[in-house]
Structure 1
Amino acid sequence: MGKSDKHLEFLGKPVPHHPAGGLSGGKCIAKHEPPYKENCSCSHRWQAFEKALEKASQYEVTDEQVRSSGDKRWGLLFRGGAKAVTRLEKRGETVALSSENKGMYRHEVQRPQKGDWDVARGKYNFKWDCNKPYYHEAHHVVPDATLRAVIQKVFSKKPELAIRVASEMLNAPYNVHHKDNMIILPMDERVGDLLQLPIHRETKQCNHTAYDMYVEKKIETRLRAALREIMKKHDEERGEPQYKDLAKAIEEVSRATYDEVANARRAHGVTSIDEFGKKMLPSSPTSSR
């Protein structure tokens, strides 16, 4: 786990940071660092894998799904540079540059069989290689950048208070990379359709801006409500305002939004989380609210 100054700061000031040796106890609101690293609380990919173990049925292929997938080989989206492509080609596998997704490839594979995509500690799946068992990414239900932006927005008139609030939240402790704020999502639309999960990013645009806006509104509303509760208690009981309670408010948003994301395809007929965000934003003409 790298410990660059940037990883330890908020608004240019140092804030609490602690990479615990387990799932809980970590303190972090900084941008994630990519590697899958077991027993490191800041490793969002490891945390996402541990959450996937709890939700293993989301990634399993049933007998019925296997039968419905047909007999032909699949051309699935693949992320990899020249070295990865060369290794596959040397093994006699078919890899072609995607015409629709910049920098991506199509990798021809056998259709999935029952057990191929299972999440289990004894399998290689969903760990060190983002293409195993298919191209996937670990998604922050409450994105770290969105959370930092909301804290700055809510306390925009008092930057020093924003730093204090962030510090107290972290000491709660709070970790934006905790497993309850992580979900593994497929990147290939065919995989998403089979598993009935939304894809992470629409790879033609490589972002999920509308989703971020939707979550930003949820966090801001919940933070402001929690802040009113904290100040009311402060007025009644005196003492120092308990800003650390804002960590619980964010965790509540994570838990509720996790379920929304996991069920987005079934409940709203969307294929990606960005499409879900567009549908849920109040200003959207297709909003379900």
Structure 2
Amino acid sequence: MDLRQTTDYREINSVTEVMAAVMPILSLVMENARGKQHFGLFDFLKGFWQLPLAELCQEWMFYMTDEKIFTPRRVPQGCSDAAIHFQKTMEKCFATLLYKHLLVWIDDLLLYADDIDTYLDKLAELFSLLNDFGLKLSVKKSSLYQIEVKWCGKIIDANGVRHDPARIESLRAMPYPSTAWELQQPICAINWMRESLVDYARQVSPLQRKLDTALASTRRTKRAAAGISIILNDDERAAFEQVKDMLASAATLAFPDDTATRCLFTDASDVGWAVIVTQV
């Protein structure tokens, strides 16, 4: 079993002044892979641990077990700035490739190119940069010479972006929830896919109201939500099934084509509003 160590740094995080930085917006950066024919997937081997931890911070990040006290010298998982620090460091390391032939999401890399010759050239450049910065990849999680890849939960090819069928099927197989946490899970998961689902907001609204009511007087944490029992009425059960059925017809989102004619359609009512963009 491949275990992953993480440490409870909540007390340290509560007094940490977090970095002023933002993560990339996946739906936007994926547009850089528009029309690409060749892909490669890579994952760093124990990513955070490949970065040194500033000596000044090491004593603050110690942790104690039943045997001894450990003081980390590498960036640990669990501290508030670990992910964004790793992201921004990788963006600097791969600046010559970034958004031209490479996407970076924390420890996941996506290499892409129009043709095989360019792909091989950029692959060599990627390996050269990895060597220059002393970074190591996981061989088990690396994949070369692909025409379609699954990256950050999305399937990407030359035609566009769609959701992972396995993820969709797992969500459609979920039973009726009996606690607020069991309702919160699918709502959050499906909300992440909403840009591909027509009429999502209206269909999910009965379930969202149910969840908001259940959590109105408590914190919206997993522990709190798991302790609140709920029973869906007939309308809410129907909404639950309708939302799951919508997943089966989730649209593939085409990459923007600068040469195409784009059409913007909008509509609004007392219930809600909607926008759809097409290209011909």
Same fold (TM over 0.5): no
For this structure pair, what is the TM-score category when the shorter chain's length is used for normalisation? under 0.3
- Which structure shows the bigger proportion of residues in strand conformation? 2
Task: Normalising by structure 2, report the TM-score.
Answer: 0.25
